[in-house]
């Protein structure tokens, strides 16, 4: 918990936690976590995209590794547990193995991913994409709000020329297990410290814009305006209505940017993001298609230009059944009932599932609050998560030794 507090000090925005990819604050947080990894007996390296990888060897050096971890980057004005908690719980579990001098039949690597939230480049999961072999070279040309490319941001923080080296080799790992705060209220409602994740909702991230004609707020008659802002208002409300009427569907317009941006100037352009999620990919795809159609109809009716770009799309992911059963057994072994729950939030496990079987452990979260500075977990619940992970690793150790 103290380490989570320390990491909160690494931010690009004084007074709140904002730690995007490739920034000095993320590099400094990474240095600190590297020190904690070394203290826990791990060899540490930074890969081409800037992920931190701490490793302890097993007795059988060439054996595939167990991967643990989560992400070190954050959203804007974040809480202190979304991401870092999973890394720190994993480091602690490794420290305990070492303190017991437990010999391991496989290596363990703790991963601190450099980008999961996609705050800076409006993507998601850049760190895990690099490991899972899902990094599209076209990502290198993505630009941030200051027109810095990902390629430029990566130089110095990682190495854009060595991305191929970051990819997991065949048989380099046999599983990825991530602990994470639940970011929802379910575990609190059933009064349990931890739960086992069954799967993760699919997600579409869209970047769209309406283009009209800027003008004088005091002189351009209402019927002569081509104002993109009311058009954006229409689609924001349509997305909300659609999601309210479709069970399980979540739709969020999280950013909206009207330019040139003055109270006495009719906007010339409005850019906005749209995040759409559902556990069933068919429902999500239908919703995205419907919202695109409406966006284009609204533009046509108001004589506006329109852009619609699907920035990222991730299908729903099922956690690996055998690995998830083992995690559930570890929860039982810790003397707790096993609560299975789905994840509405995205996680590095989504992309890692393309390379290795994945499982996830959720930790109870105060009032379900996340992506907010009031995000909270209790020391007791975090202790349970460490116990469960420790138990899980020990059981795998016994099993693989046989
Ligand atoms: O957006 C998400 O679901 C995650 O927190 N990155
Ligand atoms: Mn998050
Ligand atoms: Mn997260």
Last residue of a domain, one of 272, 297, 314: 314
What's the gap in Å between 116 CA and the centre of ligand 3? Answer: 7
Ligand nearest to the CA of 75: 2
CA-proximal residue: ligand 1, atom 6 (nearest): 117
| DSSP code for 101 | T
Q: Would you say residue 230 has pLDDT above 80?
A: yes
Indicate if 61 and 138 belong to the same structural domain: yes
- What is the model's pLDDT at position 401? 79
Kindly provide the residue ranges of all beta strands, DSSP E only, lying in 239-332, ordered along the sequence: 250-252, 256-259, 265-266, 269-278, 305-314, 317-318
Q: Is 3 exposed, middle or buried (0-12, 13-18, 19+ CB in 10 A)?
A: middle
Q: Would you say residue 61 has pLDDT above 80?
A: no
Indicate if 372 and 356 belong to the same structural domain: yes
Give the pLDDT band (50/70/90) at residue 60. confident
* Ligand 1, atom nearest to 82 Cα: 5
What's the gap in Å between 352 CA and the centre of ligand 1? Answer: 15
pLDDT in tens, 17-52: 999 999 999 999 999 999 999 999 999 999 999 999
Q: Which two tokens stand for residue 304?
A: 């506006």
Percent of the chain beyond pLDDT 90?
96
Which residues form ligand 1's pocket by a CB distance below 6 Å? 116-117, 345-346
**pTM for this model (two decimals):** 0.93
CA-proximal residue: ligand 1, atom 4 (nearest): 346
Indicate if 15 and 52 belong to the same structural domain: yes
pLDDT in tens, 149-175: 999 999 989 999 999 999 999 999 999
Indicate if 62 and 141 belong to the same structural domain: yes
Mean pLDDT of 388-393: 98
Mean pLDDT of 269-288: 98
Indicate if 139 and 208 belong to the same structural domain: no
Please provide the average confidence, as pLDDT, over all residues in the chain.
97
Q: Who contacts 91 (Cβ-Cβ below 8 Å, separation ≥6)?
A: 33, 36, 37, 40, 42, 54, 110
- What is the model's pLDDT at position 400? 83
Mean pLDDT of 72-87: 98
| DSSP code for 168 | P
Indicate if 149 and 41 belong to the same structural domain: yes
Indicate if 227 and 289 belong to the same structural domain: yes
Cβ atoms of residues 286 and 259 within 8 Å: no
CATH number at residue 223: 3.30.70.360
What's the gap in Å between 355 CA and the centre of ligand 3? Answer: 19
Indicate if 173 and 252 belong to the same structural domain: no
Last residue of a domain, one of 297, 314, 331: 314
Q: Who contacts 10 (Cβ-Cβ below 8 Å, separation ≥6)?
A: 19, 25, 26, 28, 29, 32
Indicate if 386 and 396 belong to the same structural domain: yes
* Alpha helix stretches (DSSP H) within 227-269: 228-245
Mean pLDDT of 248-276: 98
What's the gap in Å between 345 CA and the centre of ligand 1? Answer: 5
Mutate to test the pocket of ligand 1, among 117, 121, 276 (most ligand atoms within 8 A of CB): 117
| DSSP code for 161 | G
Domain that holds residue 232: 202-314
Mean pLDDT of 85-102: 96
Q: Which two tokens stand for residue 242?
A: 């659609």
Q: Which of 232, 242, 249, 229 is nearest to 295 (CA)?
A: 232
3-state helix, strand and coil shares in percent for the chain, rounded to the nearest 5: 40, 25, 40
Mean pLDDT of 328-349: 97
Indicate if 191 and 97 belong to the same structural domain: yes
Last residue of a domain, one of 294, 314, 334: 314
74 or 62: whose pLDDT is higher?
Answer: 74
Q: Is 81 exposed, middle or buried (0-12, 13-18, 19+ CB in 10 A)?
A: buried
Burial 209-237 (b: 16+ CB within 10 A, else e): bbbbbbbeeeeeeeeebbbbbebbebbbe
Ligand nearest to the CA of 82: 3
What's the gap in Å between 77 CA and the centre of ligand 2? Answer: 11
Give the pLDDT band (50/70/90) at residue 196. very high
CA-proximal residue: ligand 1, atom 1 (nearest): 346
Number of domains observed in the structure of the chain: 2
Q: Would you say residue 402 has pLDDT above 90?
A: no
Pairing of strands 194-200, 340-343: parallel
């Amino acid at each position: 918990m103290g380490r989570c507090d320390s990491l909160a000090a690494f931010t690009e925005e004084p007074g709140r936690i904002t730690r995007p990819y490739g920034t000095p604050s993320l590099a400094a947080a990474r240095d600190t976590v590297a020190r904690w990894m070394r203290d826990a007996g791990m060899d540490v390296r930074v890969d081409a995209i800037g992920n931190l990888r701490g490793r302890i060897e097993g007795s059988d050096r060439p054996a595939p590794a167990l991967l643990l971890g989560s992400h070190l980057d954050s959203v804007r004005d974040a809480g202190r547990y979304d991401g870092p908690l999973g890394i720190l719980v994993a480091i602690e579990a490794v420290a305990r193995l070492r303190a017991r001098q437990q010999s391991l039949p496989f290596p363990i690597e703790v991963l601190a991913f450099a980008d999961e939230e996609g705050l800076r480049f409006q993507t998601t999961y850049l760190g895990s994409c690099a490991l899972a072999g899902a990094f599209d070279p076209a990502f290198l040309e993505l630009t941030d709000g200051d027109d810095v490319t990902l390629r430029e941001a990566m130089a110095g923080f990682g190495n854009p020329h060595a991305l191929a080296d970051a990819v997991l080799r065949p048989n380099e790992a046999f599983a990825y297990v991530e602990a994470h705060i639940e970011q929802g209220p379910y575990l609190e409602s059933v009064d349990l410290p931890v739960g086992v994740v069954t799967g993760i909702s699919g997600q579409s991230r869209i970047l769209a814009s309406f283009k009209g004609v800027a003008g004088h707020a005091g002189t351009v008659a209402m019927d002569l305006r081509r104002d993109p802002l009311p058009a954006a208002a229409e689609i924001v409300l349509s997305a909300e209505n659609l999601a309210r009427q479709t069970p399980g569907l979540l739709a969020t317009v999280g950013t909206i940017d009207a330019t040139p941006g003055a109270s006495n100037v009719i906007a010339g352009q409005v850019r906005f993001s749209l995040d759409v999620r559902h556990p069933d990919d068919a429902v999500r795809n239908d919703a995205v298609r419907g919202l695109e159609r409406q966006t284009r109809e609204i533009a046509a009716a108001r004589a506006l230009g329109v852009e619609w770009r699907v920035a990222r799309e991730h299908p729903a992911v099922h956690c690996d059944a055998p690995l998830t059963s083992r995690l559930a057994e570890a929860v039982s072994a810790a003397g707790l009932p096993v609560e299975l729950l789905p994840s509405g939030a995205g996680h590095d496990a989504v992309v890692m599932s393309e390379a290795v079987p994945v499982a996830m452990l959720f930790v109870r979260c105060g009032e379900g609050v996340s992506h907010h500075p009031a995000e909270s977990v209790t020391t007791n619940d975090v202790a349970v998560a460490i116990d469960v992970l420790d138990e899980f690793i020990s059981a795998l150790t016994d099993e693989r030794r046989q």
